[in-house]
Structure 1
Amino acid sequence: MDIDVRRHRRAEIAMHGLNHADDEYTLYYDETNNHRLVRITDTGLNNEAKCFVLGGIGHRGPPRELNFPALRAALYLQPTNRDLKLRHLGSGDFLRLLGSVKVGTYLQWLEDEGFYLHLQAIDPIFWSIVDIIDSILAEAQDDRLNEMIWPLKDTLNTLVRADLHAIIDVFRRFDYPNVGATRRCQFLEMLLETMEPGRSLCPPFAFQMLKGVLQLGKQLDRLPFLEDETPGELVAQYRDFYMARLSMMINAHHVLDAEDQVSREVSTWRFMDGDRRLDHFRFAVSHEEVGIQMSDPVVGLIGKLCDFIIVHSEAELVEARAELNDRQRSSLATLSRLLDRSLDESDIFANFVMAPSHQRRLWAFLDE
């Protein structure tokens, strides 16, 4: 499959003012929570649908020798540990990991060595429900509503998350995302009815706006992104995020973990810059590529952070932040500096496909 990188990247760069997209970097990749498929079963979801994170560490310029022995020594890793993994540094949820001495040492070492972090973090629940809003706005063709697209998606996500089990039951009854034209009215009506008990979680105006848009959807002829889909399949793959990064940073050297399914598919892609075929990525086995090993802990840690943010309210996060011990505060501050430094280098380095309110909570928790 040929991929025209100019078509993929030019509009994004212009729209978002992305900087240093043409610069030379070396970027190492690992991933976490790649469940391959998130689907609806008779009892709920086939997995926990935790945040998928693709990313790792990087530096300016071409590939260079990485001082991995120094990191191993600093972490007191046993020679029998063939690969560096997050589990070698600590265990538990995000807060417990922040309290690990080895996690703090690892983050500080990355900062001292001047590495950048790069990542794409995707909440599969948010990603799978936004087609409801996108379908209505695409069919309605109303510029005023388009200006409200992100608040609408945010409110929908809040209400879906308020009683996810009940919403999944609605999805199951209507073969979501394959709702189809004839059942759209019943689907939207039942969706509104199921979300009604959670309305107190949203500002009154936000709830009424979402309610009005869903009612508008019942008057339309079709919901274009909720037709001709595989019933019950919320997430089929994450390959588009590989494509996005490889299409955006065409002068970078991308070194990806040789995960069987992804590597087989991506290896068939031809990235074309006009008539020039790009040769800017390769796959490597993690235990033979130290840059991939060094990427595993940070990708896992970001995944834990995203899941932690999603399942806690703003008030709970404020309380958790206040109760951090000195070691946790130090590690969190180092992670925050690493992300800030990376974003200062290039806006491309951090992309969160999450509800806007969750993104605001994440940055508030990091930066307070």
Structure 2
Amino acid sequence: MYEDELNEFARTSAAYHDFTICEEPWSLYYDETENCRSISYGSEGIKDPRPFERDFVLGGIMVRTDEAKTALRDGVRMLPAPNGEVKSKSVLGGSKDFLTVLRRKEVTNFLRLIDRPDAYVHYHSQDNFYYSIVDIVDSLIDLPPNRAAAFFHLQLKDALYGAASPHRISFVEALMRFGYPNIASTEVAPFCEYIAELLYVARDDGGSGPMTQFYTETLRQMVKTAARADELVLLDGNPEGVLVDGFSSHYLTACIMLPRATHCFDNEFRVSKVLSDAKNCTFVDSKNEPLIQLSDVWVGLLSRLFRFLDGQAWNYRPIDPARAPIQLENLRTIKRLIDKADATHRSLLSQVAPLSVVIAREQVLQSLCAGEDTIS
């Protein structure tokens, strides 16, 4: 893209999401977790199903002052650094239990270090299963009879996600039979019939609420209409057999939405090629930049937090402040850091995820931090 095209993309995106372009000269440092490079079909199905289990997360630390940079770089020295570099695992440990992670003194020290007035967190995450299927809904909305549904596209995408999520791998492998992510004109009708049947079953699921059933049925009717179409516009011309073709768009979007900021990324050859014309970013070796090392810890912590919150949404258990005071205090610090970033500018946080998942995570985190017995 040329610079004027990037600026136009930024303005359009900001207007769509109802915020202004940030012109602050901040310094942002990044690392990533769960970068699977791409998700694609093999001859017998999905090559590697694991990326559908965890979100890709790009994020890290943002600082406003040179004093903050100095303080954070000096403070890194108190964190464990095997082989001379602070890593996510050296701070978070190897436990799969998030409350055990929160109890670690290394995690407490890390959170205290970054919890300062002139330092902020930021992140951009992607649910890979959601990302892999949302073009189905957008293609349906593109058809003239369905265009009014654009006003509640997030709810419709949520309905498809909810219907397919209980059997993710079998669903995307079933789509493979129709040539997905490209649907030829001869496959439009059978593809739509398959989706309609899936939604029919989901609609009558006894565990669904009335609004979920409404959006599921609305989407089903849209699919039935689409079965008579010649094409599904967004399901054509895609890389053959590829569901996720890398994550470089997240890096590029960050640079576009914060054009006067300096973006410092860990070395990533593929991404550096995509951003080769960008003037506001650099790529460095994390061993030479402590703030990227702190970013690695943050995205690792956030990835574990998301999985913890998703589990709590299904089986909520409050944290007893008498038995787990350290864990509760650290969780409250995480929430405070996220809230501070969100209040500073919308471009610091984003999630490509189902609406219901985003809301559930916020509600669970709020309820846990408030010491509530149930999700508010």
What TM-score do you get using the length of structure 2 for normalisation? 0.87
Task: Pick which of 325-334 and 194-203 moved more.
Answer: 194-203
Matched residue type, 1:87: K
Identical columns (%): 26
Matched residue type, 1:301: L
Q: Distance in 2 between matches of 1:202 and 1:100?
A: 39
* Residue 275 (structure 1) aligns with: none
* Residue 236 (structure 1) aligns with: 245
> Deviation digits for residues 79-98 of structure 1, max 9, x if unmatched?
x4322111001223344422
* Residue 331 (structure 1) aligns with: 330
* Residue 38 (structure 2) aligns with: 37
Structure 1 residues 24 and 154, CA gap change in structure 2 (3 angstroms): same
User: Do the aligned partners of 1:21 and 1:248 also contact (CA within 8 Å) in 2?
Assistant: yes
Q: Distance in 2 between matches of 1:144 and 1:193?
A: 23
Task: Give the secondary structure class of the aligned counterpart of 1:362.
Answer: helix
1:164 and 2:206 matched: no
* Residue 12 (structure 1) aligns with: 13
1:65 and 2:70 matched: yes
Matched residue type, 1:149: H
> Deviation digits for residues 327-367 of structure 1, max 9, x if unmatched?
22221111000000111111111001100000001111222
* Residue 370 (structure 2) aligns with: none
Q: Distance in 2 between matches of 1:230 and 1:16?
A: 28
> Deviation digits for residues 97-119 of structure 1, max 9, x if unmatched?
22322112211221136411111
> Deviation digits for residues 160-182 of structure 1, max 9, x if unmatched?
11111320231121121012221
1:256 and 2:261 matched: no
Matched residue type, 1:11: T
By how many angstroms is 1:283 displaced? 0.8
Q: Distance in 1 between matches of 2:144 and 2:362?
A: 34
By how many angstroms is 1:198 displaced? 3.7
User: Do the aligned partners of 2:21 and 2:257 also contact (CA within 8 Å) in 1?
Assistant: no
Task: Pick which of 290-299 and 10-19 moved more.
Answer: 10-19
* Residue 188 (structure 1) aligns with: 192
* Residue 121 (structure 1) aligns with: 125
Runs of 4 or more above 4 Å deviation: 61-64, 320-324
Cα RMSD (Å): 2.3
1:106 and 2:113 matched: no
By how many angstroms is 1:142 displaced? 4.1
Matched residue type, 1:202: S
Task: Pick which of 194-203 and 101-110 moved more.
Answer: 194-203
Matched residue type, 2:267: A
Map 1:192-207; keep pairs closer than 5 Å: 192-199=196-203, 200=205, 201-203=207-209, 204-207=213-216
Q: Distance in 2 between matches of 1:143 and 1:196?
A: 22
1:92 and 2:98 matched: no
Q: Distance in 1 between matches of 2:99 and 2:145?
A: 45
Q: Distance in 2 between matches of 1:47 and 1:165?
A: 7
* Residue 317 (structure 2) aligns with: 319
By how many angstroms is 1:141 displaced? 5.7
> Deviation digits for residues 34-88 of structure 1, max 9, x if unmatched?
1111113325442411211111001115694343332332x3x25x432211100
User: Unaligned 5+ residue runs, structure 1?
Assistant: 272-278
User: Do the aligned partners of 1:19 and 1:348 also contact (CA within 8 Å) in 2?
Assistant: no
By how many angstroms is 1:215 displaced? 1.2
Structure 1 residues 322 and 196, CA gap change in structure 2 (3 angstroms): farther
* Residue 83 (structure 2) aligns with: 81
By how many angstroms is 1:209 displaced? 1.4
Structure 1 residues 366 and 81, CA gap change in structure 2 (3 angstroms): farther
Q: Distance in 1 between matches of 2:176 and 2:295?
A: 37
Matched residue type, 2:102: L
By how many angstroms is 1:208 displaced? 1.2
Matched residue type, 1:38: I
Higher relative CO (Cα under 8 Å, sequence separation at least 6) belongs to 1
User: Unaligned 5+ residue runs, structure 2?
Assistant: 368-376
* Residue 148 (structure 2) aligns with: 144
Structure 1 residues 299 and 205, CA gap change in structure 2 (3 angstroms): same
Q: Distance in 2 between matches of 1:309 and 1:226?
A: 33
